Amino acid sequence: MRSLRLQTLLGTLLLTGCREEMSILRPGGPAAEKLAELTWIVLITFSVVTVAMWALIVWVGTRRRGSFEEHAPPDIGGGQNWILWGGFLIPAAVLAVIFVIGLQSMSTFPMKDGEIAAPEIAITGHQWWWEVKYVAGPPPLHVTTANEIHIPTGRYVDIQVTTADVIHSFWIPGLHGKTDLIPGRENRIRLRAEKPGIYRGQCAEFCGANHAKMILVLVAQPPDEYDAWLDHQREPAVPPVTTEAIRGKRLFVEGPCALCHTIRGTDARGGVGPDLTHLASRDRIASNYLENNRANLSAWVTHAQSLKPEVAMPNLTMFEGEELRALVTYLEQLE
């Protein structure tokens, strides 16, 4: 138990250590700026109210109480003004002002109904990972990846979100507020990142055992870099060259992996789990829960159920020794 907690703590430190922090107060685009503005206004207003309340409480607690003779008789009336102002008028005014500012923020949010004809990216939530389809242009140019979203900087990117199972919520605090992924519905988000960088996000709606491990990473890159990345993703997987990798590919395609995963350019065409065509180009695996390296890939193949209990990926303990090494070698060269 303690080692598990320590692991979680270390994981959190590692994640926050090498990634852009998940802060709504450090906006990277217009939608997040609106929200940050509103957050500051609310934060400062309520801090002022809190300080005033504590000052009153301290004053009540420490003031000289006086004797019965010094006080007016209790039935003389008066004092209701405190209740009228402090309990009704001031709170109503504060809440009304914040409500109006909130409405204003909503109306200037960089997205209006019916503004989007066709989204560029279509995201589908799964328990517990993100399917990401790039759907700009004619269908032959469409491509599917997972968990790591890339967008170009300096322009708006329209995204459509939905879910394949339960309700999830798409949330990248540095760029946008939360948007729910609802069964049978398509919601829209308009993202814009001004500067290149990595933005961390998180599923923000409880969706089962691994909700906390349904992590998102968004990579904002200059337009030419983004185009190159997208072109590369459209290509089929690189064929293996070494004997070990060739063996790994055979194990993948002829074994249970191909029932659930697709690797374009091979006979593996499963549609249950993430597309692995360019797995090695992604920084992390298991919906960004684990770093993408040999040790984690091996552990994921053989013990996914220990790393993410109840995940659709079974423990493939039939792979061990040389076979496991070959399989992982193949996965590692899927650049």
Exposure letters 78-114 (e unless 16+ CB within 10 A, then b)? eeeeeeeeeeeeeeeeeeeeeeeeeeebeeeeeeeee
Nearer to ligand CUA, 88 or 206 (CB): 206
Nearer to ligand CUA, 43 or 209 (CB): 209
Q: How many residues bind ligand CUA (CB under 6 A)?
A: 9
Q: Within 211-250, which residues bind ligand CUA (CB under 6 A)? A: 211, 214
Does residue 168 interact with ligand CUA by CB under 6 A?
yes
Nearer to ligand CUA, 197 or 208 (CB): 208
Least distance to ligand CUA from the beta carbon of 287, Å? 9
Pick from 20, 120, 205, 275 the residue near ligand CUA by CB under 6 A: 205
Does residue 22 interact with ligand CUA by CB under 6 A?
no
Does residue 131 interact with ligand CUA by CB under 6 A?
no
| CA–CA distance, 172 with 277 (Å, rounded to integer) | 25
| CA–CA distance, 38 with 100 (Å, rounded to integer) | 11
Does residue 146 interact with ligand CUA by CB under 6 A?
no
Does residue 203 interact with ligand CUA by CB under 6 A?
yes
| CA–CA distance, 57 with 7 (Å, rounded to integer) | 43
Does residue 263 interact with ligand CUA by CB under 6 A?
no
| CA–CA distance, 31 with 16 (Å, rounded to integer) | 23
Backbone conformation region of residue 8, classed left if phi is above 0, alpha if psi is from -120 to 50, else beta: alpha
β-bridge mates for residue 169, sequence order? 180
Contact 161, 186 (CB under 8 A): yes
Pick from 22, 123, 151, 207 the residue near ligand CUA by CB under 6 A: 207
Does residue 326 interact with ligand CUA by CB under 6 A?
no
| CA–CA distance, 66 with 51 (Å, rounded to integer) | 26
- Which residue is associated with the tokens 């992982």? 328
Does residue 172 interact with ligand CUA by CB under 6 A?
no
Does residue 178 interact with ligand CUA by CB under 6 A?
no
Contacts with ligand CUA, residue ranges (CB under 6 A): 125, 128, 168, 203, 205-207, 211, 214
